[in-house]
Every structure is written in structure tokens, then in C-alpha cells.
Amino acid sequence: MAASVAVRVTGLALAVLVLGHFTLTHIVTDVAEADAGYIARRWQSALWLAWDWTMLATALFHGAAGVWIAVEDYSPDEPARRRRQLVLVAVTLALLVLGTVTLAAGSGA
């Protein structure tokens, strides 16, 4: 039940985050200016780093909650379900750490 609510809440949050990102990157900013230098300058801002990290974390949590629901629905026995959920949590956390390191490295931190 909690995973179903999480999917809906993170879906709404992603809609706001992604549409805001798209608007500011592709509509407000001239697309011709959006190159690697633009991204490097943007990642010097704590606001953009926080925005991108929040979008990353929300997308990962949204996907993990969806897979959690599938595991709950289709895993026949409790031990197998718990193992799959443990793997899901480990992979999600590993991807979050990798994404965080990428953002930190890209910002020069």
C-alpha cells in the first residue's frame, strides 16, 4: 500500500521537476547555448545541483517503488520476496550513490 502511494507522490513530484528542468533548459535558455560548458556553469550553482539531485533521487525512488509493487504481487514465497526486495534496495542505493558522485564530480566539488 505504501509503495502505491509512493509511486503516485513521486510521479507528481517528477512531473514538476522534469517540466521545470525542461522549461528552464530548453525554452528559457537558447538551445544553441546548451552545451557541455553550459552544464558545467549550471552545476556551479547549488540550486541546480539540488534540483538535479532531487530529480535523480525522485526518479530512482519512483522506479524502485514500482518494482517493489511488482515484487510484492508476483513473488510466490516470503524468503524469495525478501531477497528480491533486498537486491532492489541495494541497487537503488548504489545508483543513488553513483549519481551523487557524478553530480559532485561534475560540479568540481
Number of domains in the chain: 1
CATH (domain of 51): 1.20.1300.10
Grid cell at residue 89 = 534496495
Q: Over its length of 109 residues, how does the chain's per-residue pLDDT go in tens digits? A: 799 999 999 999 999 999 999 998 888 888 787 788 888 888 888 999 999 999 999 999 999 999 999 999 999 899 999 999 999 999 999 999 999 999 999 887 6
- Return the C-alpha cell found at 59: 526518479
Which residues fall within 8 angstroms of residue 58, CB to CB, at 6 or more apart? 10, 13, 14, 17
For the whole model, what pTM was predicted? 0.87
- Burial class for 101, CB neighbours closer than 10 Å (0-12, 13-18, 19+): exposed
Other CB atoms within 10 A of residue 91 CB: 13
Residue 19 domain boundaries:
2-107
As a dihedral over the C-alpha atoms of residue 28, residue 33, residue 38, residue 39, rounded to 10 degrees, the angle is 70
